[in-house]
Amino acid sequence: MSRRNYPSAFMHPFSHIPTLEEEGPVIVDRGEGVYIYDDRGRKYLEGNSGLWNVVLGFDNKKLIETAQRAYAKLPAYHAFFGRVGQAALDLSERVVKLAPMEANRVFYANSGSEANDTVVKLLWFLAEQEGKPHRRLLLSRKNAYHGMTVITASLTGKDYVKSASGLPVKEVRHLTCPHHWREALPKESETDFSQRLALELEQTIRNTGPDYIAGFFAEPVMGAGGVIPPPEGYFQAIQPVLKKYGIPLIADEVICGFGRTGEFWGSQTYGMKPDIVVASKVITAGFFPMGAIILSPEMTERIDKASAKYEELPTGFTTGAHPVGCAIAMAALDEIEGGAFANVKARSPEFQKQLRAMADHPMVGEARGVGLMGALEMVADKKTKAPFAGNLDVSERVSRQALKNGLICRPLGASIVLAPPFIITDAQISELFGILRKTLDEVYRDIAKKAA
Ligand code: PMP
């Protein structure tokens, strides 16, 4: 048995079992600013903001005090049957004003998965009520991440997630991943690649019949797929096709929303005009589970009309629009609008400069990113872009070695991804990349030694 008593009664989500068996879990004890500490007092720079969400630091006093006050006043209530806390009303007014498109309604779930899942349900609800029960197909992209419920794991375009449980469900189609560096034809420009993907979309729509398609889901920047910003002109090419066939665009802003890309929304960074926006993670800075669906007036009107028959919206979650969660979200937005977003804008050039400087490392094939998010894709051969054999291993090794060196960075496929808290300083950015370079050197030396 390991010194950390593994296996334990706790079932670890998305955790590498051999590592757990060998080393046991990292028991996270407390946090301070952009750092977390384990139960042995070891300090780590959190290069991923937890899971992209803890953007205001791990000890944000304003959020903690807000939560304490909200718990003291009304620690719990639901939002069914016309009952609701004031914070949910205030938050909704604020969110529709902030939205990247004209918007007038917000529905609350408890996670990104639940929010995306509910979007599908609402689209299918509309299909049924508008006399088009066959309008059920959902378009997504390979490498997308939209969640882990049955439907949202189906929308998620990662092969191992799909094959592990025999997904996707029959209603989902995955289009080409818009990753120019990996997927473009030789000498194909970014805009030509975007045009080709728009053509693929149009052909897919025509082949299946536009009347059968309920919606197109897209993250502005693919996050868990390995931080893949869209190629130039991508959404400009895709959106007219969706418009032409009357297919709603759902912007999954679970990672990008509220500042990550250096604009308030990824939709603004890339010129998206979505019909529905899904937010989560950053909306409470990770301090409370929340997912939010933001609707355009047209979507609202259609859903209202469809609901009229039932005299109520036929969906909802026990803890959706939780009074403490909504109060925390208001405080998080105060913090973001009051300075954290400005810091993302101010720090992004330095972060991107240091990220791209890593491209000179012999193991780094591509350094890519936008705002305060980025990825380094590991290759065995920079010219051919050939991945390392069993490529997950190399990024996994980099991440494990980084942990030993005091940095948390996540392996995703062949890439190492970074998304530090919005409050990071330039000195901490230098610390992050200093540790990462030392780590890459160590792993590279180790691989070279083994190959010799
Ligand atoms: N959409 C995107 C873009 C995500 O990155 C995630 C989570 N990484 C989700 C949806 C699912 O969110 P959750 O884990 O809260 O269900």
Ligand 1, atom 1, lies closest to the CA of 146
Residue in the structure block whose two tokens are 């069993």: 390
Q: Which amino acid is at 309?
A: K
Cβ atoms of 415 and 376 within 8 Å: the answer is yes
Atom of ligand 1 nearest to the CA of 281: 15
CA of 407 to the centre of ligand 1 (A): 23
Percentage with pLDDT > 90 across the chain: 91
Predicted pLDDT at 160: 75
The verdict on the CB of residue 145 being under 6 Å from ligand 1 is yes
Predicted pLDDT at 7: 78
- Over residues 426-430, the mean pLDDT reads 98
Predicted pLDDT at 6: 73
Provide the token pair at 413.
Answer: 């496929």
Provide the token pair at 138.
Answer: 């959902």
Higher pLDDT, residue 24 or 351: 351
Whether the pLDDT of residue 24 is over 50: the answer is yes
Whether the pLDDT of residue 2 is over 60: the answer is no
The verdict on the CB of residue 49 being under 6 Å from ligand 1 is no
The verdict on the CB of residue 142 being under 6 Å from ligand 1 is no
Using pLDDT thresholds of 50, 70 and 90, give the confidence band for residue 162.
Answer: confident
- Over residues 343-359, the mean pLDDT reads 98
Atom of ligand 1 nearest to the CA of 252: 3
Using pLDDT thresholds of 50, 70 and 90, give the confidence band for residue 369.
Answer: very high
pLDDT in tens, 318-333: 999 999 999 999 999 9
CATH fold, domain 74-321, is Aspartate Aminotransferase; domain 2 (3.40.640)
Residue 206 to residue 421: CA distance in whole angstroms: 43
Whether the pLDDT of residue 303 is over 70: the answer is yes
Predicted pLDDT at 333: 98
The verdict on the CB of residue 252 being under 6 Å from ligand 1 is yes
What is the residue extent of each domain of the chain?
A: 17-59+347-451, 74-321
- Over residues 270-293, the mean pLDDT reads 98
Beta strands in 357-421 (DSSP E): 364-370, 373-378, 407-408, 410-412, 415-418
- Domain 17-59+347-451, CATH class in plain words: alpha beta
ipTM attached to this prediction: 0.99
Average pLDDT over all residues of the chain: 96
Cα Dmax for the chain: 72
CA proximity to 59, closest of 28, 31, 36? 31
Q: How many residues does the chain have?
A: 452
Q: Which amino acid is at 346?
A: A
Whether the pLDDT of residue 227 is over 50: the answer is yes
The verdict on the CB of residue 255 being under 6 Å from ligand 1 is yes
Q: How far is CA 134 from the centre of its chain?
A: 30
Predicted pLDDT at 5: 64
CA proximity to 116, closest of 328, 277, 337, 268? 277
The pTM is what?
Answer: 0.97
Percentage with pLDDT > 70 across the chain: 98
- Over residues 367-391, the mean pLDDT reads 92
Atom of ligand 1 nearest to the CA of 114: 16
CA of 152 to the centre of ligand 1 (A): 9
- Over residues 150-163, the mean pLDDT reads 88
Provide the token pair at 331.
Answer: 């405080």
Predicted pLDDT at 305: 97
pLDDT in tens, 66-118: 999 999 999 999 999 999 999 999 999 999 999 999 999 999 999 999 999 99
List all residues 6 or more positions away from 102 whose beta carbon is below 8 Å from its beta carbon: 296, 297
Atom of ligand 1 nearest to the CA of 144: 3
Residue in the structure block whose two tokens are 């902030």: 98
pLDDT in tens, 386-425: 998 875 589 999 999 999 999 999 999 999 999 999 999 9
Provide the token pair at 218.
Answer: 């897209």
186 burial level (CB within 10 Å; 0-12, 13-18, 19+): exposed
Query: HSE on the CB side for 421, CA within 13 Å?
Result: 28
Predicted pLDDT at 1: 36
